[in-house]
Amino acid sequence: MFWAAFAGMYFIRKRKDLRDGSMTNNIDSKKLGLDLTEGPVFKSLAVFTVPIILSGLIQQLYSVVDLIMIGKFLGSAGTVGVSAGGEVSDLVTPVALAFSSAGQIYVAQIAGGKRKERIRSAAETLLSMMMILACAFMLAGVAFHRQILALLNCPEDAMGQAAVYMWITALGIPFVFGYNAVCGILRGMGESKGPLYFIILAALVNIFLDVPFVALFHWGAAGTAVATVIAQLLSFLAAVFFLHRHKEQSGLELKGLAFRINRRDLKVLLGLGIPQAVRTSLVRVSMFWVNMHVNAYGVVAAATNSIGNKLQKFTDIFSGALQQAAAVIIGQNLGAGKQERVKKFVWCTFMSAVGTAALISAVFVLFPKPIFGIFSGDREVLELGTVYLRIMTAHILWSAAIAAFQAVVVGSGFASLNFVIGILDGVLCKVGLSVLFVYGMGLGAVGFFAGTAWSRALPTVICFLYFYRGRWAKRKLL
C-alpha cells in the first residue's frame, strides 16, 4: 500500500538520521520541523504525512478502547450517560480544529516566506484567541450542562452520570483548545512528529487511568471524565514543553510570549477559521439527519449504518491526513513563491491517495462479510453490510480524489471557496442525493448510503477546476 510505503520511507529516514546524527536534503537538525520548500517531493510528503496518519489511527483506536471500558464497567445507562455527556465536546472540538487549521495554514505561508519574526505575532494571536474561546465554552458548559442535556433528550436514567461527565469534561476545554493551537503552530512550521507524541501520551494516560478510576474506585462516568481531562492536560503541557524546548529553532520562547492579539493576524485567522467552523457544524447536522432517517428503517439498517460509519472514519484517516499534510506543504511553497513545486505535490498527493483508496476499496469489495463480521454476527446485518461496503467504495475513491485538489484550496487560504465546498459536500449534495435515491428511486435505507457515498463528486470537480485554472498561484495570506 502507498501508506505502508510512506511509513517505510519515514522510519528508514528516522533510522538514518539517528545513525548519522544529522539530517539531509530538506530536513535540518538545527531547525524545528521540515523545510517543505526544498528536497524530493515524494520524500517530503511521506516524512510529513506518516505521523499525521499514525495520530489519526491512534486516536480512533483509543476511542474504541475507551468505549469498551465504558460499556464493560458502566453498563447501558453509563454508556448512554457518557455518550450524551460527551456531546459538548463533540460540539466544541470542531471549533478548536477549525482555528487550529487556520493557524496551521497561516504559519505555513509565513514559514515558507522565511518571515520568522511574523511567526511570534501569529502564534500569540492564535493562542490568545483560542484560549478566550475556550474559557467561554468552558463557562457555558459548567453553567448550563443540565439544560444542554435536557435539550438533547438525555434519558432520565442516564441524566445523573451524563451531568457529572459533562461538567468535568467542560473543565478540560481550555486544554483541548491550547493543545490544538500549539499543534497548529508546529505543523505549520513543518513539525508533524511532535503532535504524534502528544496524542500517544494522551491515549496511554487515558487508558491507564480508566482502569483504576472506573474498575477499581468505581467512580462511574466521573472516573472516565477525570481520566480524560488529566490526559488532555498532560498532552497540552507536553505540547507547551516541546515548543519551549525548541525555542531557539522556532523563535518562540514561552517567557517572551504575551497574551497579545494582533489585529492583522486576527483578521486572517478569523477569515480562515470561522467558515471552517460553520462548515463543520453544518456537516455534523447533515450526518445527524442521515443517521436519524436510517434508524427509522429498523435495527438492521441502524446497526449496518453505525458499523459502516466507524469503517468510513477509519478509511477517511488516510485521505484526510494526506489532505492536511498537502495543505501545509502547499502553504509553505506558496509563501516561498514556488508554484511549480506546488503542482508536483498536488499530483504526488493525488496518486498516493487514489492508489491507497483503490487498495482499500478492493479489500472491501472482496471481503465484505469478514470485515463486517468483526463487529456483528447478525446474518441480516452482514447481508446489508455487503451492500453498504460496495456502495461506500465510491465515497473512498471520491475522498481520495478530492484530497489533493482541496488541499490547494485550503493551502492557498481561499476560505470562502472551502466553505462552499464543505456545504456542497456535507449538506446540499448529501441531503439532495439521499432524497433523490430514497424518495425518487425508492431505494430505502440503501439510498442514504448511496447519497453519502456520492456527495463528494461535484465538490471534487469544482476543486479540480480551481487547481486547473491556476488562480491559486496568485493567492497569499501575507
Q: What is the pLDDT of residues 268-313, one digit of tens each?
A: 999 889 888 888 877 777 877 887 788 788 878 887 887 888 788 8
The number of distinct structural domains making up the chain is 2
Q: Does 140 reside within a domain? A: yes
Q: Does 32 reside within a domain? A: no
Q: Domain end: 212, 243, 261, which one?
A: 261
Q: Does 198 reside within a domain? A: yes
- The answer to whether residues 311 and 455 belong to one domain is yes
Measured from the Cβ of residue 441, the count of other Cβ atoms closer than 10 Å reads 11
Domain with 204 in it: 2-19+41-261
Measured from the Cβ of residue 100, the count of other Cβ atoms closer than 10 Å reads 25
- The answer to whether residues 113 and 249 belong to one domain is yes
Q: Does 369 reside within a domain? A: yes
CB proximity list for 164: less than 8 A, separation 6 or greater: 85, 220, 221, 222, 225
- The answer to whether residues 121 and 254 belong to one domain is yes
CB proximity list for 169: less than 8 A, separation 6 or greater: 85, 86, 88, 89, 141, 225, 228, 229
Q: How far apart are the first and last CA of the chain?
A: 38
Q: Model confidence over 78-126: pLDDT tens digits?
A: 666 676 666 667 778 889 999 999 999 898 888 877 677 788 888 889 9
Measured from the Cβ of residue 370, the count of other Cβ atoms closer than 10 Å reads 10
b/e per residue, 190-218, with b = 16+ CB within 10 A?
bbbbbbbebbbbbbebbbebbeebbeeee
- The answer to whether residues 225 and 339 belong to one domain is no
- The answer to whether residues 210 and 314 belong to one domain is no
Measured from the Cβ of residue 391, the count of other Cβ atoms closer than 10 Å reads 21
Q: Model confidence over 161-210: pLDDT tens digits?
A: 888 888 999 999 999 999 999 999 999 888 888 899 999 999 899 889 98
- The answer to whether residues 334 and 244 belong to one domain is no
CB 404 within 8 A of CB 353: yes
- The answer to whether residues 48 and 132 belong to one domain is yes
- The answer to whether residues 213 and 303 belong to one domain is no
Per-chain mean pLDDT for the chain: 83
- The answer to whether residues 99 and 236 belong to one domain is yes
Distance CA 45, CA 33 (A): 13
Percent of the chain scoring above 70 in pLDDT: 85
Q: Does 281 reside within a domain? A: no
pLDDT confidence tier of residue 133, bands split at 50, 70 and 90: very high
Q: Does 388 reside within a domain? A: yes
Q: Does 364 reside within a domain? A: yes
Extract the C-alpha cell encoding 216.
Answer: 477499581
- The answer to whether residues 253 and 322 belong to one domain is no
CB 467 within 8 A of CB 405: yes
- The answer to whether residues 328 and 460 belong to one domain is yes
